[in-house]
Structure 1
Amino acid sequence: MIKIGYHASHEQFSPKALLQFAQRAENNGFDLVTSSDHFHPWTEKDAHSGFAWSWLGAAMQAVNLEFGIVTSPAPRYHPAIIAQAVATLNQMFDNRLWIAAGSGQAMNENITGELWPNKDTRNQRLAESVSIMRRLWKGEEVSADGIVKLANAKLYTLPTAMPQVVGAALSAATASWIGTWAEGLITINHPDDKLKKIIKAFRTENPAGDMAIKIQVSFADSLNDAEQLAWESWRNNILGSSIQAELSQPKFFDEAGQFVRADDMKEHVLLGTSADTYIYAIQKYREMGFSKITFHNVNPHQEAFIDMMGSDVLPRVR
């Protein structure tokens, strides 16, 4: 059985609006809500940057669904603090929260003023962070003296069960690596040939792990409107993972995004005007082996999209 999710994008909407969208998603029959975790948004235009962890406490009280958050446990945070936050939320809300851990992007993590490390160092830091969090969730007293420093830390409020940690991957190389330590994979709707390579790389290391995908879509009355709305709202997000990891401020993304054409959005965002587009996507990704399929409508029209999914899509794919 697959779970269909709604993605709450803190870079695009206010926390209050996202809470209302999450409630609407539950009322329309979605199974889960995923959340981004940004300090800076992708653009300076009509942007937001609410604190995801505060929002989760309110959202999980208001919405009785499974939640997932895509986060980097260091260096903007310390992994011990993320471990404490996850433990607290899962103790209150019956282990309904899982995390997708990534190596981070300069736009969020570089606010600490530290030297932004290369990808190999970021990966090592991520692996150390996940190991620390898992030990803390078991109730161990933990010290560490690697890239991540920690002295005699112990959680006294533990989660009701061991939280699931999946790895975020945008390439086959990263998918292969996270298959060695993560319980699952989360990625986005790449072109099919690239996505199949990511799946194969992960499955080679982890044949039984869960797989989740966040599908970036633009829903509108016409394909031209869907394309234009996607370009206006999301063009800064299709610059490539290497560039996106290195740019440190929204204004830099705006400068780079001016070279993206509206026609370029077709490769990165699923454009659709009717339920059939989204039903086909669910069927395709389910056949690829994804057990969680989350939709991120990248344009402003969230209510119309959520209602369409509830009335025309979800009843037909159950």
Structure 2
Amino acid sequence: MNARGSAVLFAWLLLLPATIYIAVIVIYPLIDTIHLSFTNASLRKTFSYVGWLNYDKIFNETFAGVIGRTFVWTFFSVLLKMTVGIAGAVLLNSAIPGRALFRLLTMPPWIVPMAIGIFMWGWMYNGQFGMISGVMQKWGLVDGPVAFLAYGSSAFWATIITDVWIGVPMVTLYMLAAIQAIPEDLYEAAWTDGASRFYRFRRITLPLLLPAIITMSMISMIATFNSFDIIWILTQGGPSGSTTTMIIDTYKTAIGSYKYGEGAARAVLICIFLSIFTYFYFRVTSRLSQEYAR
């Protein structure tokens, strides 16, 4: 075997552990889930193939509303996280007094265990004992206690706010690192030419941040789309299904109702949606990157 063949073989040997890991952890469960989605598997020991019946049930029931709600929930949550995170990163990168303290204060939502943080927000949303309702009553904004998690629209936005609170620190720190990687010479040259602060942000910071924004928004979108803990701990998909997203519906079907076949079909549908969305997302963002580069 020549030197080139030895190098190729050595490269494959280095990739072998990762390949085995992906095959065992990712590929096999995915194939098994797809296989399960065509069956009527449940708690019974035996099950049979039912073809596309599970998928027919999805589109013949109220799942269309669940799909739409999931995309709306994901869109607003990611939009707010990216907006607040980028704004926070720009402020933390500025020469403001107490900047180190402000950077430290961005960490608690990320450091505190997620379940504890969500329970804390649940108490804040409580109508009788919650801080938010109490402050609104004290300021005269409402006449009586407001149970935010008892009404569909308020519960929907309450879960979004909680998700934003948990996700903003990661976005902020990621964007802050990306901003600090931008050469200072560019800002100094623009400042010498008389460019305003907003112009420097629009023509220097934002274009150079675009790759980081694309990466972070994609990671945030996938995590938010599959977010389970926040909604389940706060509302369990209620009231009246107003906060039931695709992942919550999949859990209720597969684990709550023991309909593993139908739950697997919903899981496959989630995977398909995320794959299609990721493909078109990268197509659109790559065009935006090319336009900014001009």
Shorter-chain TM-score: which interval?
A: under 0.3
Question: Greater strand percent: which structure?
Answer: 1
The normalised TM-score by structure 2 is: 0.21
Higher RCO (CA-CA < 8 Å; seq separation 6+): 2
Larger-Rg structure: 2
By percentage of residues, which structure has more helix? Answer: 2
Normalised by the length of structure 1, the TM-score is 0.20
